[in-house]
Amino acid sequence: MPSRRLTIALAGNPNSGKTTIFNAITGTRQKVGNWPGVTVEKKEGIVHKHGYELKIIDLPGTYSLTPFSIEEIIARNYILDESPDVVIDIIDASSLERSLYLATQLRELDCKVIFALNMADIARARGMKIDSKKLSELLDVPVVFTVGNKNEGIDKLLTQAIELAESNRQPQRGRKVKYSKDIEDSILELKRFIELKTDKRLPYDVRWTAIKLLEDDRIVKQRLQEAAGLAGVDIIQLAEKLRAHLADRFDDDPQIIMTDERYGFISGIIKEVLTSTTQQRIDISRSIDLVLTNRFIGFPIFIFFIWAMFQLTFTLGDYPTQLIEAGVNLLSEFVKNLMPETFLKDLLVNGVIAGVGSVVVFLPNILILFFCIAIFEDTGYMARAAFLMDKIMHLIGLHGKSFIPMLMGFGCNVPAIMAARTLESEKDRILTILITPFMSCSAKLPVYIILAGAFFGTRAGTVISSIYLVGIMLSILTGRLFRATLLKGADAPFVMELPPYRAPTIKSLLIHMWDRSRVFLRKMGGIILIGSIVVWVLSSFPRNIQYSIDYKKEINKIKSSYSKLKSKADPSAIRLLESMEADELSKLRMAQRAERAEKSYMGHLGRAIAPVFSPLGIDWRGGVALLTGFVAKEIVVSTIGILHAVKGEAEPEALKNALSAAGMTSLSALAMMIFVLLYLPCLATTTAIRRETGSYKWMFLSIGYSTGIAWLAAFMVYQGGKLLGFT
């Protein structure tokens, strides 16, 4: 007598060879009837294998488990309600992409699944080569090649099914298909609400239930109400609200969006496991991918897009920046004229307005950068960029999935580091977290714009995009170093999701742009304001400064001298004399402000750290600005504005004059940008590193390593440039 009975269900697309496999397994030992309550044919058979009695159920052929047809409802309900020991998904190996849609849905059901790649002979004849081992690793599912009509692989298929049924191996929990952030957020919100309302007492997996409710699955809604009662009504109401939100965000039905993203997941699998020597029929997305993911021209196109993004950010953003700058200057003049000479006036004009104003002028640049990133994400190109980087990432033992958090780091390193949670391997996760800060976040962009605009003029966009590429290259080199030393180990299997190309809606782009930009604006009223005030206090005290000369006397002397000259001059020469007077007074006042700053508490601090930055061509003011950048990188700009007394003016010529007067050159400006790119992460990022790695060790390693690399790189740029004759 058999020691145990097992139930095995066969699922698959119509014409996938499922019935042939069923016949090959059961032979004449079949029982044919109808499924209860419907006229759809039901087949089952009993076979004995390795001491087991195997009950084989041939489920109706279906392309998906979405409950549109009777066949789909029967197949899904049987798997959900009867819980067979194993589900064998019969996949047409010659039409892999079409067949994998059902396979991905089976994976979401959290049942034990084995894939039978049937018609393997036809696939081979068509020049198709499928990496079954890779497919098995990516989806965490056993894979067996079969040829049903020749009885090839059937014995191995049943053996694998028995081993899987008897193993303690549980289906991998969590996400089987990676949906976009908006959809994942809705799934998570609904999942938590379901768990809260039902105490997890549900007939089905909670995440799968949330997905089906967002897809407006009528059967799941009905079962939920039966199982949860009044709580089910609340859950369905929230699901409808989230569906409406997603429909408004994507301008399409959520079920269609989720279907598209499943196909994007499938496209990623196909890229990884299928090679073909013959040209297959392709859709529009595949046609575009033939160009954008081409191994020869795809990467240059990616480089061009990055360059164009920063060129657009700099040139287009210049016009609204000038308007905001004029507004800041008007506000500064208004406060000057409104208030008497007091401590509070000095604080407002030279601390708050000069500090925050020097950063707020770059809001248009930040908005344009985030708008471009939103275009990349919403069109589907961001995933292609990760695919292009996959081979490069493999050089350091990572894969394209690790590049996705790095790409997010262009916006902000904190959510980018948190996004590394999706990586399965702990070593991959830590390595990705350690190299992500080399991705230049939006907070560093104002520093690049202010220095590149002042010293590089029309080449500013090219310089800025080059800075970003330096960060990418150094992250790769760092990853290779760490993978070979601190974090040895093989990289985990990974599916590169390639969602279909979509035309993004303006509404969606603006929402994504604004969601990211709000972080920048919140910093304006919080950390940047506080930081600017602290910098002003340190640079304004002590109040009683012993100047090297009597500036007030010298100013009066210049005014008196020019007054006499103007009284004797011709009317045509008066304007020239006034201009000369203004220039001399400006230089004298700038010298006074510089001496005040140098003899302030901030000046003492600056001189103490000056030897560290002197080899980089950075004076004590730049050193202090970099020091304050640990709190938030935006404060670097406001500190430069306060210490150089440009009062928030972002006009390149005015700033260049102030910086040049302090001894900064194009070469030292480039060295400072390199240092800002690479040195220690901001306070929020270091906190995120400690939280996500669970260790102070990795946090301090990140701070020490990145700062050391920053100093070395800036030193090589400055000193190497001087040796080559650059200034």
CB 601 within 8 A of CB 538: yes
How confident is residue 652, by pLDDT bands cut at 50, 70 and 90?
very low
How confident is residue 656, by pLDDT bands cut at 50, 70 and 90?
low
pLDDT of residue 710: 94
CA distances from 564 to 85, 216, 409, 619 (A): 104, 87, 61, 40
The β-bridge partners of 49 are 52
The pair phi, psi for residue 392, each rounded to 5°, is -65, -40
Q: Tens of pLDDT along 38-49?
A: 546 678 888 888
pLDDT of residue 309: 82
361: closest CA among 322, 333, 329?
Answer: 322
Instruction: Please report which helix (H) or strand (E) contains residue 30, including its range.
Output: strand 30-34
* Burial 15-42, CB ≥16 within 10 A → b, else e: ebbbbbbbbbbbeeeeeeeebeeeeeeb
Q: Tens of pLDDT along 507-540?
A: 778 877 877 677 667 766 677 777 778 777 877 7
Say which residue the tokens 């002979």 belong to: 121
CB 261 within 8 A of CB 239: no
Say which residue the tokens 């008497």 belong to: 340
Q: Tens of pLDDT along 411-458?
A: 778 777 876 765 657 788 888 889 889 888 877 888 888 888 888 878
Peptide bond into 542 cis (omega under 30): yes
Q: Tens of pLDDT along 133-177?
A: 888 888 888 999 988 878 888 899 999 999 988 887 665 555 567
The β-bridge partners of 12 are 90
Say which residue the tokens 């997941």 belong to: 265
Name the burial class of residue 48, with classes exposed (0-12), middle (13-18) and buried (19+) by CB atoms within 10 angstroms of its CB. exposed
Tokens of residue 287, six digits: 């046609």
Tokens of residue 407, six digits: 């790409």
Domains and CATH numbers, the chain: 4-166 (3.40.50.300), 181-281 (1.10.287.1770)
* More confident call, 192 vs 402: 192
pLDDT of residue 171: 57
Q: What angle do CA 73, 77, 78 make, to 5 degrees?
A: 120
647: closest CA among 366, 363, 362, 348?
Answer: 348
Task: Tell me how far apart the alpha carbons of residues 595 and 608 are, in angstroms, rounded to a whole number.
Answer: 16
pLDDT beyond 70 at 493: no
Task: Tell me how far apart the alpha carbons of residues 109 and 100 are, in angstroms, rounded to a whole number.
Answer: 14
CA distances from 481 to 201, 396, 434, 675, 709 (A): 48, 8, 12, 20, 13
500: closest CA among 262, 249, 682, 687?
Answer: 262
Total residue length of the chain: 727
* More confident call, 23 vs 527: 23
DSSP secondary structure letters along 36-83: TTS-SEEEEEEEEETTEEEEEEEPPP-S--STTSHHHHHHHHIIIII-
pLDDT of residue 649: 41
Instruction: Please report which helix (H) or strand (E) contains residue 701, including its range.
Output: helix 696-723
Task: Tell me how far apart the alpha carbons of residues 278 and 240 are, in angstroms, rounded to a whole number.
Answer: 46
DSSP 279: P
Listed range (156-160, 306-310, 406-410, 454-458) with the worst mean pLDDT: 406-410
Say which residue the tokens 């080569």 belong to: 129
Q: Tens of pLDDT along 675-701?
A: 999 998 887 788 888 878 888 999 999
CB 111 within 8 A of CB 87: yes
CB 420 within 8 A of CB 399: no
Long-range contact set of residues 40-46: C-beta below 8 Å, sequence gap at least 24: 40/70, 40/71, 40/74, 43/19
* More confident call, 704 vs 340: 704
Tokens of residue 727, six digits: 């200034």
pLDDT of residue 707: 94
pLDDT of residue 280: 47
The pair phi, psi for residue 437, each rounded to 5°, is -60, -15
pLDDT of residue 702: 93
Query: In sequence order, which residues have a C-beta less than 8 Å from that of residue 618 and are 6 or more positions away?
Result: 626, 664, 668, 671, 672, 675, 714
How confident is residue 127, by pLDDT bands cut at 50, 70 and 90?
confident
DSSP 33: E
Query: In sequence order, which residues have a C-beta less than 8 Å from that of residue 343 and are 6 or more positions away?
Result: none
Task: Tell me how far apart the alpha carbons of residues 56 and 281 are, in angstroms, rounded to a whole number.
Answer: 35
DSSP 147: B
The pair phi, psi for residue 91, each rounded to 5°, is -110, 130
How confident is residue 653, by pLDDT bands cut at 50, 70 and 90?
low
Say which residue the tokens 């400690």 belong to: 690
pTM > 0.75: no
Task: Tell me how far apart the alpha carbons of residues 400 and 496 are, in angstroms, rounded to a whole number.
Answer: 7
Q: Tens of pLDDT along 58-102?
A: 988 888 887 777 778 888 888 888 889 999 999 988 888 888 888
pLDDT of residue 704: 94
Task: Tell me how far apart the alpha carbons of residues 311 and 305 are, in angstroms, rounded to a whole number.
Answer: 10
Residue 331 has, within 13 A of its CA and on its CB side, a CA count of 18
| 3-state per-residue secondary structure call for 103-131 | HHHHHHCCCCEEEEEECHHHHHHCCEEEC
Mean per-residue pLDDT for 326-345? 83
pLDDT beyond 80 at 185: yes
pLDDT beyond 50 at 492: yes
CB 115 within 8 A of CB 145: no
Task: Tell me how far apart the alpha carbons of residues 258 and 335 are, in angstroms, rounded to a whole number.
Answer: 54
Tokens of residue 394, six digits: 């493999």
The pair phi, psi for residue 84, each rounded to 5°, is -60, 155
Instruction: Please report which helix (H) or strand (E) contains residue 237, including its range.
Output: helix 230-250
Tokens of residue 419, six digits: 């996004």
Query: In sequence order, which residues have a C-beta less than 8 Å from that of residue 223 and are 6 or more positions away?
Result: 203, 204
pLDDT of residue 115: 92
CB 589 within 8 A of CB 581: no
Tokens of residue 95, six digits: 């039409």
Residue 628 has, within 13 A of its CA and on its CB side, a CA count of 32
Say which residue the tokens 């030992």 belong to: 29
The identity of residue 635, as a single letter, is: I
Task: Tell me how far apart the alpha carbons of residues 679 and 694 are, in angstroms, rounded to a whole number.
Answer: 22
89: closest CA among 164, 210, 8, 1?
Answer: 8
Q: What percent of the chain has pLDDT over 90?
A: 12
Residue 372 has, within 13 A of its CA and on its CB side, a CA count of 21
Q: What percent of the chain has pLDDT over 70?
A: 88
Strand order in the sheet with 113-118: 30-34, 41-49, 52-58, 4-12, 86-92, 113-118, 143-145
Most confident of 27-31, 196-200, 260-264, 370-374: 260-264
Name the burial class of residue 574, with classes exposed (0-12), middle (13-18) and buried (19+) by CB atoms within 10 angstroms of its CB. middle
Q: Tens of pLDDT along 218-228?
A: 888 888 888 87
The mean pLDDT of the chain is: 81
